[in-house]
A and B are shown apart, each in its own frame.
Chain A
Amino acid sequence: AQSVAQPEDQVNVAEGNPLTVKCTYSVSGNPYLFWYVQYPNRGLQFLLKYITGDNLVKGSYGFEAEFNKSQTSFHLKKPSALVSDSALYFCAPRGGGATNKLIFGTGTLLAVQP
């Protein structure tokens, strides 16, 4: 069965500092891993994904994520946070047999202070 954990309900960071939003997952078979962002009163937007290849993947708005197979983690990172990055971030693995569904974590609220 698939599962995902985002251990931090909220992450606070000052503008200009690096940020990390943590995610660990459990899937059977090869994992396909996604990050989505949700701004207030808006739909979910795709940020980036890991399918295969390099463990460091780059996505939209300067975000990147590092796939670590041994730790079953897929942490989201950005070298320099912006106030406009403040939003709700969801990690979503896909895998485990024939199902094509994404399973979403509970989300991490990122708050970037000016």
Chain B
Amino acid sequence: GAGVSQTPSNKVTEKGKYVELRCDPISGHTALYWYRQSLGQGPEFLIYFQGTGAADDSGLPNDRFFAVRPEGSVSTLKIQRTERGDSAVYLCASSIGTGFAGELFFGEGSRLTVL
């Protein structure tokens, strides 16, 4: 497919467990973003990558959250010791280049439910 792909689409886990969410961006897009959207809210910025490096991780809520993009393509968002408050839809987006004018293309999200 030509769009941003996110897996899994749904994840149910228990409090305290470890979770990984994967994002496969549009081929050739150098910038990749993670957002979190809670029910009734707008997307909340978490982190963005230019290539392999995290250019801005100011939105990560605490040190339980970590993201990597080792080869500058696929990215994984990792959440340790999950809490019920982590339940949300996690959105990934990519954009071509790193300029300010480019629009973001979003995947359909990974819905995380922490019981």
Contacts of A105 in B (CB 8 A): 42
Q: Mark B20-63, 1 if CB is under 8 A from A, else 0.
A: 00000000000101010000011111001010000110110000
How many pairs, one residue from A and one from B, have CB atoms within 8 Å of each other in the complex?
57
- State whether the Cβ of B80 lies closer than 8 Å to any Cβ in chain A: no
Are B42 and A43 touching (Cβ within 8 A)?
Answer: no
Q: Which residues of B contact A (CB under 8 A)?
A: 4, 31, 33, 35, 41-45, 48, 50, 55-56, 58-59, 91, 93, 98, 100-101, 103-109
Q: Which residues of A contact B (CB under 8 A)?
A: 32, 34, 36, 42-46, 49, 51, 90, 94-95, 99-107
Are B104 and A102 touching (Cβ within 8 A)?
Answer: yes
Contacts of A51 in B (CB 8 A): 100-101
- In the complex, what residue of chain B is closest to A94 when comparing beta carbons? B100
The CA of A42 and the CA of B106, in the complex, are separated in Å by 10
Partner of B100, one of A44, A90, A100: A100
